[in-house]
């Protein structure tokens, strides 16, 4: 073990190949070089939040006006396997899912260590093992008479590491927890970059939840360092940044600029964006939103951000990726299924006609629907020529919170139920659950959590005039708790009880927490058979 490293959880079987001595040495080098910057950038987020709490409004940064005004710079050309991204499938990294997603017919698979994954150490390490084996085509297996086998031309693999705010508390370096982002990125890169290049692909990433262009600069510095460390050419890595926080919408050009040697575009992370919109403007009474189902892509602030993202990406010649429709197929009810699939089709049509170069799906059976829409309306590999020069998006547009809709008892109830079900599942080691035929991940659960907080904090009222008080929401949470077991397979009473207490404490809090995934992290300890140190956050 390199000096200064400690592992605080059980590591067994193939997992120990992932945490090999040279891989740990790489983690240590990255941690010592870059973790101080990460911590400083997280502190800077708090400073921005305090200013917003004090009534300041977000704006495009003045110090980088010259970067936005300079038409001459463009991003790196598409790397092998990323030339045409019309449909990308996303999902966690279990072995079966990895095979099904790579075989789905989608152009790319975003293998997710982030919001659709519960970050128990077992999940993180097994995911690395599965990706390593998939890249080397050593992943085929048989179970219950069924063959799981990679096809000849699997999707291009893109990996999403955790965001900057998450620690990896099971590994400490010099008694400090590692960064979850660095851990996920580094292990995947270290074990697979050369193999991917040799097979005609490359190390590709999706980068989540950034809030400032300096956070993109940190990623770029890590990319340069890592490519030099392994001796592969600078500019081999590609990264698509999810624009899914409100502050990042004001930094789109700067984020592309920082990553321009490694950028493969931006993506509209719509669910986290709604979550961030509520959270960043938590004290702003004018930002209170109606029921989650009313906050659609046509809402003023959502529409403005989509248009600005497409315009920005095409100006800099990279992909403007669309987002996820959460609908999944409804088996055994043809009529309901047709309604759900029509929603997916309409959403994909909106994206392709707006100028997006590709979109996301959460289920293999949706691939054909999305593919048909894009094939019909996007004839070449991308739509970079759709420049959207007519688009003018102002800060006011990005902050336009006038969304038609109401807050209803049903809205409170279904959000309470979604938040509880998700938190309970997450604690049990599952980060992605189908609920009422929608795929819920951490981002959608986060919307439910902060909406409940926002309505209580701002003393909002239901459409009936009934005040939304903490005790009313507490009553709803306790009432719907009894249904959670029937909603999600495999959760235990203890986990539901933790979720209920957590959500009640959130609703009553003076401020909702930043992330449920940080708050609930200590409960995952039980799954890892070890006693790891508490997260530093």
Ligand X SMILES: *[C@@H]1O[C@H](CO)[C@@H](O)[C@H](O)[C@H]1NC(C)=O
Kindly list the catalytic residues. Answer: 160, 441
109 beta partners: 89, 157
**CA separation for the pair 2, 12 (Å, rounded):** 19
| Interaction of residue 292 with ligand X, rule CB under 6 A | yes
Question: From residue 26, how far is each of 21, 225, 337 by CA, in Å?
Answer: 9, 10, 48
At 143 the three-state DSSP class reads: strand
Stretch that binds ligand X, among 78-86, 271-279, 354-362, 413-421 (CB under 6 A): 413-421
Indicate the helix (H) or strand (E) that contains 140. Answer: none
| Interaction of residue 435 with ligand X, rule CB under 6 A | yes
| Interaction of residue 483 with ligand X, rule CB under 6 A | no
148 beta partners: 141
| Interaction of residue 420 with ligand X, rule CB under 6 A | no
**CA separation for the pair 317, 473 (Å, rounded):** 47
**CA separation for the pair 74, 55 (Å, rounded):** 36
Minimum CB distance to ligand X, residue 41 (Å): 16
The single residue among 50, 151, 436, 505 that binds ligand X, judged by CB under 6 A, is 436
| Interaction of residue 410 with ligand X, rule CB under 6 A | yes
| Interaction of residue 234 with ligand X, rule CB under 6 A | yes
Name the DSSP letter for residue 245. S
Total count of residues recorded for the chain: 537
| Interaction of residue 147 with ligand X, rule CB under 6 A | no
**CA separation for the pair 34, 24 (Å, rounded):** 15
Query: Within a 10 A sphere around the Cβ of 515, how many other Cβ atoms?
Result: 19
**CA separation for the pair 385, 431 (Å, rounded):** 38
| Interaction of residue 415 with ligand X, rule CB under 6 A | yes
The single residue among 318, 448, 499, 524 that binds ligand X, judged by CB under 6 A, is 448
| Interaction of residue 235 with ligand X, rule CB under 6 A | yes
| Choice between 310 and 435, CB closer to ligand X | 435
| Choice between 13 and 233, CB closer to ligand X | 233
Stretch that binds ligand X, among 54-62, 107-115, 204-212, 285-293 (CB under 6 A): 285-293
**CA separation for the pair 425, 367 (Å, rounded):** 26
Question: From residue 494, how far is each of 476, 484, 500 by CA, in Å?
Answer: 19, 12, 10
At 385 the three-state DSSP class reads: coil
Stretch that binds ligand X, among 39-47, 59-67, 204-212, 395-403 (CB under 6 A): 395-403
Stretch that binds ligand X, among 88-96, 126-134, 396-404, 485-493 (CB under 6 A): 396-404
| Choice between 155 and 468, CB closer to ligand X | 468
| Interaction of residue 446 with ligand X, rule CB under 6 A | no
Q: Which of 406, 423, 396, 391 is CA-nearest to residue 497?
A: 423
Environment class of residue 12 by beta-carbon count within 10 Å: exposed (0-12), middle (13-18) or buried (19+)? exposed
Stretch that binds ligand X, among 293-301, 329-337, 505-513, 529-537 (CB under 6 A): 293-301
| Interaction of residue 258 with ligand X, rule CB under 6 A | no
172 beta partners: 6, 177
| Interaction of residue 299 with ligand X, rule CB under 6 A | yes
Environment class of residue 459 by beta-carbon count within 10 Å: exposed (0-12), middle (13-18) or buried (19+)? exposed
Strand-pair category, 433-435 with 438-440: antiparallel
179 beta partners: 167
Question: From residue 414, how far is each of 111, 410, 429, 480 by CA, in Å?
Answer: 29, 6, 22, 9
**Residues contacting residue 232 through CB under 8 Å, at least 6 positions apart:** 193, 194, 197
Minimum CB distance to ligand X, residue 228 (Å): 9
Q: Which of residues 370-389 bind ligand X (CB under 6 A)?
A: none
The single residue among 51, 137, 285, 293 that binds ligand X, judged by CB under 6 A, is 293
| Interaction of residue 399 with ligand X, rule CB under 6 A | no
| Interaction of residue 79 with ligand X, rule CB under 6 A | no
The single residue among 64, 400, 483, 518 that binds ligand X, judged by CB under 6 A, is 400
| Interaction of residue 67 with ligand X, rule CB under 6 A | no
| Choice between 87 and 302, CB closer to ligand X | 302
Minimum CB distance to ligand X, residue 233 (Å): 8
| Choice between 102 and 477, CB closer to ligand X | 477
The single residue listed with the structure tokens 């072995």 is 95
Stretch that binds ligand X, among 35-43, 364-372, 410-418, 471-479 (CB under 6 A): 410-418
Minimum CB distance to ligand X, residue 184 (Å): 21
| Interaction of residue 405 with ligand X, rule CB under 6 A | no
Residues binding ligand X (CB under 6 A): 221, 224, 234-235, 261, 291-293, 299-300, 400, 402-403, 410-411, 414-415, 418, 435-436, 438, 440, 448
């Amino acid at each position: 073990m390199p000096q200064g490293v400690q592992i605080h959880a059980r590591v067994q079987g193939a997992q120990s190949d992932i945490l090999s001595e040279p891989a740990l040495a790489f983690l240590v080098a990255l941690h010592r070089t870059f973790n101080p910057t990460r911590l400083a950038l997280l502190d800077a987020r708090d400073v921005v939040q305090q200013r917003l709490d004090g009534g300041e409004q977000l704006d495009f940064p003045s110090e980088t006006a010259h970067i936005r005004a300079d038409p001459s710079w463009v991003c790196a050309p598409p790397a092998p396997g990323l030339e045409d991204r019309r449909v990308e499938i996303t999902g966690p990294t279990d072995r079966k899912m990895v095979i099904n997603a790579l075989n789905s017919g989608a152009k790319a698979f975003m293998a997710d260590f982030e919001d659709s994954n519960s970050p128990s150490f077992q999940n993180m390490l097994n995911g690395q093992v599965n990706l390593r084996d998939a890249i080397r085509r050593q992943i085929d297996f048989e179970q219950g008479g069924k063959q799981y086998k990679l096809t000849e031309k699997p999707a291009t693999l893109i990996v999403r590491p955790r965001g900057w705010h998450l620690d990896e508390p099971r590994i400490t370096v010099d008694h400090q927890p590692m960064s979850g982002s660095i851990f996920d990125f580094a292990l995947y890169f270290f074990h697979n970059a050369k193999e991917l290049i040799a097979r005609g692909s490359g190390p590709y990433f999706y980068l989540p939840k950034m809030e400032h262009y300096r956070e993109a600069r940190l990623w770029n510095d890590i990319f340069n360092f890592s490519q030099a460390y392994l001796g592969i050419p600078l500019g081999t890595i590609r990264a698509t940044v999810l624009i899914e926080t409100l502050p990042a919408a004001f930094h789109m050009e700067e984020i592309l600029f920082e990553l321009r040697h490694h950028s493969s575009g931006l993506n509209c992370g719509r669910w986290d964006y709604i979550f961030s919109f509520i959270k960043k403007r938590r004290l702003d009474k004018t930002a209170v939103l109606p029921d989650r189902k009313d906050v659609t892509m046509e809402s003023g602030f959502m529409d403005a951000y989509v248009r600005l993202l497409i315009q920005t990406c095409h100006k800099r010649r990279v992909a403007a990726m669309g987002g996820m429709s959460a609908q999944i197929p409804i088996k055994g009810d043809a009529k309901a299924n047709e309604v759900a699939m029509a929603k997916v089709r309409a959403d994909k049509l909106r994206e392709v006609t707006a100028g997006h170069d590709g979109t996301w799906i959460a289920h293999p059976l949706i691939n054909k629907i999305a593919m048909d829409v894009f094939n019909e309306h996007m004839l070449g590999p991308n739509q970079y020529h759709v420049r959207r020069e007519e688009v003018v998006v102002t800060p006011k547009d990005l902050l336009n919170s006038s969304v038609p809709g109401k807050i209803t008892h049903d809205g409170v109830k279904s959000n309470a139920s979604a938040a509880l079900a998700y938190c309970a599942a997450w604690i049990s080691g599952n980060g992605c659950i189908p609920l009422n035929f929608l795929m819920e991940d951490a981002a959608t659960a986060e919307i439910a959590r902060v909406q409940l907080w926002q309505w209580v904090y701002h003393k909002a009222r239901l459409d009936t005039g009934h005040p939304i008080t903490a005790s009313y929401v507490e009553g709803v949470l306790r009432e719907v708790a009894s249904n959670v077991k029937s909603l999600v397979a495999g959760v235990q009473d203890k986990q539901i009880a933790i979720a209920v207490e957590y959500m009640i404490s959130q609703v009553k809090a003076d401020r909702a927490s930043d992330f449920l995934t940080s708050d609930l992290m200590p409960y995952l300890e039980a799954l890892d058979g070890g006693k790891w140190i508490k997260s530093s956050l």
